[in-house]
C-alpha cells in the first residue's frame, strides 16, 4: 500500500520533468518571423495612460526586454512620421517628409523589401490609410509623403502579400484614371472592403481597403486592428520559410495632437490588443520575434495624477506637435535581448536582418 501511495505522489513530479524536457524552448531558437508593431506618437506616458485607463494592466507587460530608441531626423531634432518610419524601415536618417529615400532622394531598401527578397511573406496592418507615412516607409520611395497616388502605385507593384488599412480612394479614384485594385486582382489578390470580407480570406494575397481615407477612431471602428493582425498572421504563416509583418496603431498620434488623453488611452488600448494577438502567436510559435516601439512621441504628454482603481487620470500636454524624446522599445521572443539599452532608430533594420540571417 505504501509503495502505491509513494508511486502516486512521485507521478506528478515525473510527468512534470518529462513535460519540461519535451517542451523546453531551444537555447538559441531561429528567428523565422518578425512582427514589428509601431505605436505612432507612443511615448512612455501614452503607454502608461493605457495602463492606467485599463486599471493597471497591459498585454505589453509580457515583453521580456525593454530599451530606448532616439528619433531625431536628418534635418530636425523632432522627427515626423515619414522620416521616423524611414529610419526604422530602411536604417537611414532622412529629412522630414521624405519616405524610403536618403536626403538626396536616393532610394533605400526597406525591412519589408529585404524580407520579401529573402523569400518571406510580408504584410502590414494599419488603422490609417495604407499610403500614410509609416506604412509608406516600408513599401515606397518618394520625396514627399503627400504623394499618396504614387505611394499606392508603388505598393501595388511591391512584393507585399497582405495589406489592410484605409486609403481606397488612392487605389480606385485616381487622377490618372487607373484602378489599382483591378491590377492587384489580376495578380491574384483578394480585395476586401469590410472586415467580414477580410475574415473570409483564408490564404493567398489580400488587399483590405476598409475606408476611403483613414478609418474611424476607436471605438467606432470596432476590433478591426487586433482582428486584422490575427488574420494577417494566419495567412502569412502559411509560408514555412517565415514572414515579416508591420502593424501600426496610427491614431495614438492623433490623440496626442488633439491633447486628448481619453483619445490617447482608447487608441493605446486598441493597439495593446493588437500586441496581444502578436504575443499570443509568438508564445505558441517559438520562432517569432515581436518588437513594439514608436516613431516619435506626440504632445509632450504628462500624467499629473491618476487612480488605478477607477482608471481615471489628470494630464497636461506641452505641445500639439511632436517632441524629440526617445521612445520605448519592447521585445519578446528569440533575439529580444538585442533590443535593450539606448540605440538609434536606424539600428532596427540591421538588428532584424542579422536575426533573420539576411546579408544586406
Angstrom distance (rounded) from CA 104 to CA 75: 12
Give the per-residue pLDDT at 360.
86
Query: Over the chain, what is the mean pLDDT?
Result: 93
Answer whether residue 24 shows pLDDT above 70: no
Answer whether residue 13 shows pLDDT above 90: no
Answer whether residue 6 shows pLDDT above 70: no
Give the per-residue pLDDT at 203.
96
In contact, 80 and 324? CB cutoff 8 Å: no
Burial zone of 200 (CB within 10 Å; 0-12 exposed, 13-18 middle, 19+ buried): exposed
Answer whether residue 28 shows pLDDT above 90: no
pLDDT tens per residue, range 138-179 = 999 999 999 999 999 999 999 999 999 999 999 999 999 999
H-helix or E-strand spanning residue 272: helix 261-285
Banded pLDDT at 19 (limits 50, 70, 90) = very low
pLDDT tens per residue, range 87-129 = 999 999 999 999 999 999 999 999 999 999 999 999 999 999 9
Q: How many CA atoms lie within 13 A of 174 on its CB side?
A: 19
**Secondary structure of residue 242 in the 3-state scheme:** coil
Angstrom distance (rounded) from CA 145 to CA 132: 7
Main-chain dihedrals φ then ψ at residue 226, nearest 5 degrees? -60, -35
Which residues are within 8 A (CB) of 298 and not within 5 positions of it... i.e. 6 or more apart?
Answer: 40, 41, 43, 46, 252, 253, 255, 256, 257, 321, 322, 323
The cell for 206 is 489580400
Helix 44-53 to helix 261-285 angle (10° resolution) is: 90
Q: Is residue 81 annotated as part of the catalytic site, yes or no?
A: yes
Any idea what DSSP says for residue 216? P
Q: What is the mean pLDDT of residues 78-85?
A: 98
Cis peptide before 219 (omega within 30 of 0): yes
pLDDT tens per residue, range 164-223 = 999 999 999 999 999 999 999 999 999 999 999 999 999 999 999 999 999 999 999 999
Active-site choice (73, 81, 140, 228) = 81
Strands 288-293 and 327-332: antiparallel
Residue 68, strand partner residues = 328, 342
Answer whether residue 76 shows pLDDT above 50: yes
* DSSP string across 303-323: EEEEETTTTEEEEEES-SSEE
The cell for 272 is 495593446
What distances in angstroms separate CA 197 from CA 164, 173, 216, one per listed residue? 11, 21, 18
**Secondary structure of residue 47 in the 3-state scheme:** helix
Classified by CATH at the fold level, domain 32-356 comes out as Alkaline Phosphatase, subunit A (3.40.720)
Give the per-residue pLDDT at 30.
87
Residue with grid cell 513599401, as numbered in its chain: 139
Angstrom distance (rounded) from CA 101 to CA 147: 14
Strands 162-166 and 205-209: parallel
pLDDT tens per residue, range 234-268 = 999 999 999 999 999 999 999 999 999 999 999 99
Angstrom distance (rounded) from CA 360 to CA 354: 9
Look up the pTM and report it.
0.92
Amino acid at each position: 500500500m505504501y509503495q502505491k501511495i509513494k508511486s502516486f505522489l512521485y507521478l506528478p513530479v515525473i510527468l512534470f520533468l518529462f513535460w519540461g524536457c519535451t517542451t523546453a524552448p531551444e537555447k538559441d531558437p531561429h528567428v523565422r518571423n518578425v512582427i514589428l508593431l509601431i505605436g505612432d506618437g507612443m511615448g512612455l506616458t501614452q503607454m502608461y495612460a493605457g495602463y492606467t485607463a485599463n486599471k493597471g494592466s497591459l498585454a505589453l507587460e509580457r515583453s521580456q526586454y525593454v530599451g530606448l530608441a532616439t528619433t531625431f531626423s536628418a534635418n530636425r531634432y523632432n522627427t515626423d512620421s515619414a522620416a521616423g518610419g524611414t529610419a526604422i524601415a530602411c536604417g537611414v536618417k532622412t529629412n522630414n517628409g521624405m519616405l524610403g529615400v536618403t536626403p538626396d532622394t536616393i532610394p533605400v531598401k526597406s525591412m519589408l523589401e529585404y524580407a520579401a527578397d529573402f523569400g518571406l511573406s510580408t504584410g502590414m496592418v494599419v488603422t490609417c490609410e495604407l499610403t500614410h507615412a509609416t506604412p509608406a516607409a516600408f513599401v515606397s520611395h518618394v520625396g514627399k509623403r503627400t504623394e499618396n497616388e504614387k505611394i499606392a502605385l508603388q505598393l501595388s507593384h511591391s512584393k507585399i502579400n497582405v495589406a489592410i488599412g484605409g486609403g481606397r480612394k488612392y487605389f480606385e479614384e485616381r487622377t490618372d484614371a487607373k484602378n489599382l485594385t483591378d491590377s492587384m486582382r489580376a495578380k491574384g489578390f483578394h480585395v476586401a472592403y469590410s472586415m467580414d470580407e477580410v475574415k473570409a480570406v483564408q490564404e493567398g494575397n489580400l488587399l483590405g481597403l476598409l475606408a476611403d481615407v483613414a478609418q474611424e477612431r476607436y471605438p467606432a471602428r470596432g476590433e478591426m486592428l487586433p482582428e486584422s493582425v490575427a488574420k494577417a498572421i494566419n495567412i502569412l504563416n502559411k509560408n514555412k520559410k517565415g514572414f515579416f509583418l508591420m502593424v501600426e496603431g496610427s491614431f495614438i498620434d492623433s490623440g496626442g495632437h488633439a491633447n486628448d488623453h481619453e483619445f490617447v488611452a482608447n487608441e493605446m488600448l486598441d493597439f495593446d490588443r493588437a500586441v496581444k494577438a502578436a504575443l499570443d502567436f509568438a508564445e505558441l510559435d517559438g520562432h517569432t520575434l515581436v518588437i513594439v516601439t514608436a516613431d516619435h512621441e506626440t504632445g509632450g504628454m504628462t500624467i499629473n495624477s491618476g487612480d488605478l482603481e477607477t482608471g481615471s487620470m489628470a494630464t497636461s500636454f506641452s505641445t500639439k506637435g511632436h517632441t524629440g524624446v526617445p521612445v520605448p522599445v519592447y521585445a519578446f521572443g528569440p533575439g529580444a535581448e538585442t533590443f535593450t539599452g539606448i540605440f538609434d532608430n536606424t539600428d532596427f533594420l540591421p538588428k532584424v536582418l542579422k536575426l533573420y540571417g539576411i546579408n544586406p
